[in-house]
Structure formats: structure tokens, C-alpha cells
Amino acid sequence: MERRCRNVWTIAKRELAGYFMSPVAYVFIIIFLVLSGFFTFMVSDFFATNEASLAPFFFWHQWLYLFLVPAIGMRLWSEERRSGTIELLLTMPITAGQAIIAKFLAAWVFLGLALILTFPMVITVNFLGNPDNGVIAAGYLGSFLTAGAYLSLSSLTSAMTRNQVVSFITAVVLCMFLLLAGWPPVTNMVTWAPYWVIDTVAGVSVVPHYDALQRGVIAIRDLVYFASVMGFALFATGVIVHSRRGA
């Protein structure tokens, strides 16, 4: 067990360091911070609400991640397959599962670092009023878990193709389904369907689980949902990596 954890940690450190060796990481962080601020202060008209709350800030994350997370995840396996280094990686004394988890964790930690850099938002609302910082903490947890769910799907699509553009587009489509399946305007359009169908489709969506965390409600079922999405997507990634080894 200790050796497996050490292998995962070693690969994760290498992958995480690789992000900061190229300008892509810095461009992503700048774009994320700028867009987060723009949608919060300009589009949502933050100051006009006269409320010390980060609800408008967190609302836009599920939409920003829809495009930004696949941009990070599209290279997880596509680049390895395109350059042929996947064979070299999998001949190392590690399992495919360890490599998949390590690459996912490295990208997820990177997204977490980008999220941490939004801390001035927390300082701002505390300066302007007396927000519920417990709700804000739950909001950050929900945002981080949503990024992880989108990233796991991006890892899956990345393992499916050598082409990063194809991986990106496919990941955006999957993440959009995960988002829109339970979005109220969409579910309201299919009120003709049986309730159990609507509830089942909405249950697949990230929206109700994300919204619950934004309200400060940390429930086991919501944590299980995010863990299930990530677990399923990473398992499917493993199946694809094994089946296409050497392809």
C-alpha cells in the first residue's frame, strides 16, 4: 500500500510540476480569475445586490468549468498517446490505475490552486459585511468537487482519442449534459414526462448537488454523488487505457 501511494505521489508531483513549466498554466489561471471577477461584479452586478454573499460568484463556476476544465483535461492522455510516451509510462513499475489516479490528482490539485487564488473575494465580502463563512467554505467545497467531476469526464474523453481538440469538444458535451440535465429551465420543458423520469434525469445532473453545497448544506448523498461520478469516469478511463495500450 505504501509503495502504491509513493508511486502515485511521484507521478502526481511530476505532472503538477509539468503544468508550471509551460505558460498554459498561467494563462488558465489568469483567464479563470478574470472571468470569475467579470461575471461576479459586472454580469451579476454584485454591488447592486447590497448583500455580503458569494452566491453570484459560485453560480458562475459551474459554467466557467464547462470550458476551462476540459481545456486542462484534454491533454491528460491525448498527448501521451499522440507522442507515444504512454507505452513508456505504462512500462514503468506502476499500474495503469496508479498512473490514472496520479494524473487526475495532479490536474485536480492545479484546479484547486486556481480556486484558492480567488481568496480576495472572501476578503471583499467580509470587508463589506458579515457573511456566513461556513456557507462560503461549503461553496468552495462544491466548486472544487464540481471541477473534479468535470475533470474526470475530461480524463475519460482524453483517453479515447489522440486528438486534443476532439477530446476537448467531447468533454464539453459530456459536462454540458451533466449540467443541463437537472437545470430547472430544461426540466420545466419536459413536464409532460413521468415524474420518475424527470427525477432520474435530474439526479444525474450536477446542479442539485452543487446548489445544495452553495446553500451550505453538506449532505452525504451529495458527496457520494461527486465521488460516484469521479469513480465511474476514472474506472472507464482505466478500461480504455488498458484496451488501447500500444494502439
Calpha distance 171→168 (Å, rounded): 5
- Whether residue 123 is predicted with pLDDT greater than 60 in this model: the reply is yes
Pure H helices in the chain: 2-19, 23-37, 55-59, 61-73, 75-83, 85-90, 96-116, 119-128, 133-160, 164-180, 184-187, 195-204, 207-214, 220-243
Instruction: Flag whether pLDDT at 100 surpasses 60.
Output: yes
pLDDT of residue 174: 92
Rounded distance between C-alpha atoms, residue 118 and residue 36, angstroms:
8
Domains of the chain: total: 1
**Predicted confidence (pLDDT) at residue 246 exceeds the cutoff of 60:** no
Q: Which domain holds residue 124?
A: 2-243
What is the arithmetic mean of pLDDT over 106-124? 93
Residue predicted with more confidence, 232 or 160: 232
What is residue 217's DSSP assignment?
Answer: -
pLDDT digits (tens, 9 = 90+) for 172-192: 999 998 888 877 777 777 667
